[in-house]
Amino acid sequence: MRKIRMGMVGGGEGAFIGAVHRMAANIDGQIELVCGAFCSDAERSIESGKALFLPTSRCYPDYQTMMATEAALDSDKRMDFVAIVTPNHMHYPVAKLALEHGFHVMSDKPATYSLAEAIALREIVEARQLLYGLTHTYTGYPLVKEARERVASGELGAIRKVVVEYQQGWLATPEEDNENNKQAAWRLDPDRAGVSSCMGDIGVHAANLAEYIAGIKITALCADLTSFVEGRSLDDDGSVLLRFDNGARGVLVASQIAAGEENALRIRAYGEQGSLEWNQQEPNSLILKWNDKPMQVLRTACAGLGDTANANSRTPGGHPEGYLEAFANHYRNFAAQISARICDEVPDHVTTDLPGIKEAVRGMAFIEHTVSASASDQKWHELPDY
């Protein structure tokens, strides 16, 4: 019994998502940050690590040095896994090197810069038989897990329609021109973000949530992506029609230029007998609707929830749980999987309910096929199951 040791690549001073990963990993007290290569600038990387109270010897100038040095340490000191919190273009090379040195990987999404990289990464994960986690944060919410189980139980009947939207307004103006907004700059840079900004950053979250809750796969799509702010080469808004493998239809809307919106992720799934609705900005409520009986509102950590939702709830009912707790559920589950490996045990179904390499490949396939569909005059485009 010991803490799981985490290394981090990226997430240095001024980086948003790196701090979120560290907070989430720390919530349950099961993970300890022991080392890192926090910035592409060697001096800033080391200073960032020292600011996090790491010993200088574990603050590395680059991720290559970090992997080689950590792998050479005794087993009771070296890190167990690497958290990757860099811009997209660095996800694959860092993950590849970590896996090749025998380390498990937890990566921010999307998994890679391209679909080809995601497929190559899957081959490495499978060959090395190591753990890979992907922080599709919203599947960590207790009531998202409850929604999934309600659908899987057949309570709503077969799913016929899914409507999912993720609206933000933070890029309604050219924030990438602001030298102090590094988050906007790299997300709108094709060399670092990949083929998409809006769909790559938040549309992929919406697609993942739709498949996770509804328990069905997107098989075809019709897309319309747009860059509203002049001068942008990547999309900042998009609408996608969806077809699923069970015959259901869907609509996915994502925008970074919806002025006034914060992180308005909302999903509705309609079945033969009933429907459900969940809103990320009011995450403690799951609404169930029926044609023949009154609407129900389920609440986090209250009566009527299943085992998986309860296992991912942290406080008594009425105490708001949000983004960091959902994020922490993924880290707690990942740590439990690593502990099970160390102890030669089989992890339970709650622990293994974590996005992994399968979701990594599907996410990149969704992004690339949505972009190519939008650029085409053809109406419907298949989304192969890679």
- Strand-pairing partners, residue 276, are 269, 288
Q: Are 266 and 278 in contact (CB under 8 A)?
A: yes
pLDDT in tens, 152-179: 999 999 999 999 999 999 999 999 999 8
Binned at pLDDT 50, 70 and 90, residue 14 comes out as confident
Type of residue numbered 159: I
Angle in degrees, 0-180, between the axes of helices 204-214 and 357-375, rounded to the nearest 10: 120
Structure tokens at 341: 């490996």
The per-residue pLDDT for 112 is 98
Domain ranges of the chain: 4-138+329-353, 141-310+362-382
d(CA 312, CA 328): 9
The per-residue pLDDT for 274 is 98
pTM above 0.85, yes or no: yes
Task: Show the CA angle centred on residue 87, arms to residues 134 and 40, nearest 5°.
Answer: 120
Q: Are 137 and 21 in contact (CB under 8 A)?
A: no
pLDDT in tens, 340-351: 999 999 999 999
pLDDT in tens, 313-369: 999 999 989 999 999 999 999 999 999 999 999 999 999 999 999 999 999 999 999
d(CA 302, CA 319): 11
Q: Above 90 in pLDDT, residue 15?
A: no
- CATH match of 141-310+362-382 with 3.30.360.10: yes
The CATH number fitting domain 4-138+329-353, selected from 3.40.50.720, 3.30.1330.40, 1.10.8.60, 1.10.10.10: 3.40.50.720
The per-residue pLDDT for 205 is 98
Q: Above 90 in pLDDT, residue 180?
A: no
The per-residue pLDDT for 64 is 98
pLDDT in tens, 287-303: 999 999 999 999 999 99
pLDDT in tens, 229-244: 999 999 999 999 999 9
Helices (H), 52-173: 63-72, 91-100, 115-128, 142-152
The per-residue pLDDT for 246 is 98
Q: Are 121 and 96 in contact (CB under 8 A)?
A: yes
Q: Are 209 and 138 in contact (CB under 8 A)?
A: yes
pLDDT in tens, 92-147: 999 999 999 999 999 999 999 999 999 999 999 999 999 999 999 999 999 999 99
Q: What is the mean pLDDT of the chain?
A: 97
Long-range contacts, stretch 239-243, CB < 8 angstroms, 24+ apart: 240/199, 240/203, 240/370, 240/373, 242/162, 242/210, 242/218, 243/218, 243/219, 243/380
d(CA 196, CA 325): 28
Cβ neighbourhood burial of 222 (10 Å; 0-12, 13-18, 19+): middle
Q: Are 44 and 13 in contact (CB under 8 A)?
A: yes
DSSP string, 174-217: -GGG-TT-HHHHHHT-HHHH-S-SHIIIIIHHHHHHHHHHH---
Closest listed residue to residue 157, CA positions, set 269, 297, 249, 295? 269
The per-residue pLDDT for 1 is 81
Q: Are 233 and 375 in contact (CB under 8 A)?
A: no
Percent with pLDDT over 90 in the chain: 97
Cβ neighbourhood burial of 105 (10 Å; 0-12, 13-18, 19+): buried
d(CA 158, CA 275): 10
Structure tokens at 209: 């949530």
The per-residue pLDDT for 343 is 94
